[in-house]
């Protein structure tokens, strides 16, 4: 019996929101993120816990990106702790065009005092856009953080009809 990690096919391509990095394992999307200037795919994926069996496959991942950004439902398999998975499930429950606060997400996962831990879990979301971490804001109405920059968070929210502060 082999305990080897399954192969993760990855690639980068353009998206409506700039360069993106996708990774697929066992016919499920395990990573979708936006590449910041100077970022390299392998270190990003390794930091997301997706190594060591990484195989570059830009053609396949371009196909996945086309499916994702056309609105097609795709199978996903985020990898994380049970707490992270619970937080990410709570994010998926936020309707398009609405926001929630970090505190509201903490309550949604029955950990009302774990607002900071919720923020950390949100920051480790491996499936940007599909698990809509951009819909979480601070209690005071400020945008809070966003791993791929506040201009992109603002754009995503505005496209959903959410008014955003400059």
Of 47, 37, 35, 33, which is closest to residue 131 (Cα–Cα)? 33
164 part of the active site: no
Catalytic residue among 20, 63, 133, 164: 133
Residue where the block lists tokens 């930091």: 47
Both tokens of 147, joined, read: 């791993």
Distance (Å, rounded) from C-alpha 43 to C-alpha 51?
9
Residue among 3, 52, 48, 2 nearest 29 (CA): 48
Where does residue 119 fall: left (phi above 0), alpha (psi -120 to 50 degrees), or beta otherwise?
alpha
Half-sphere exposure of 28 (CA within 13 A, CB side): 10
Helix (H) or strand (E) holding 162: none
Secondary structure letter of residue 53 according to DSSP: S
Catalytic positions, written as ranges: 133
């Amino acid at each position: 019996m082999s305990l080897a990690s399954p192969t993760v096919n990855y690639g980068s391509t353009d998206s409506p929101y700039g360069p993106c990095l996708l990774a697929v394992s066992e016919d499920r999307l395990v990573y979708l993120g936006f590449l910041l200037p100077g970022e390299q795919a392998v270190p990003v994926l390794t930091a997301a816990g997706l190594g060591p069996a990484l195989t570059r496959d830009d053609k396949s991942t371009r196909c996945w990106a086309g499916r994702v950004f056309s609105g097609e439902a795709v199978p996903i398999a985020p990898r994380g702790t049970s707490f992270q998975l619970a937080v990410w499930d709570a994010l998926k429950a936020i309707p398009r065009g609405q926001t929630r606060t970090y505190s509201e997400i903490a309550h949604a996962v029955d950990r009302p005092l774990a607002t900071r831990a919720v923020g950390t879990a949100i920051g480790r979301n491996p499936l940007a856009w599909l698990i809509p971490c951009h819909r979480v804001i601070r209690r005071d109405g400020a945008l809070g953080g966003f791993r791929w920059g506040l201009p992109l968070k603002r754009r995503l929210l505005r496209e959903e009809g959410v008014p955003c502060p400059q």
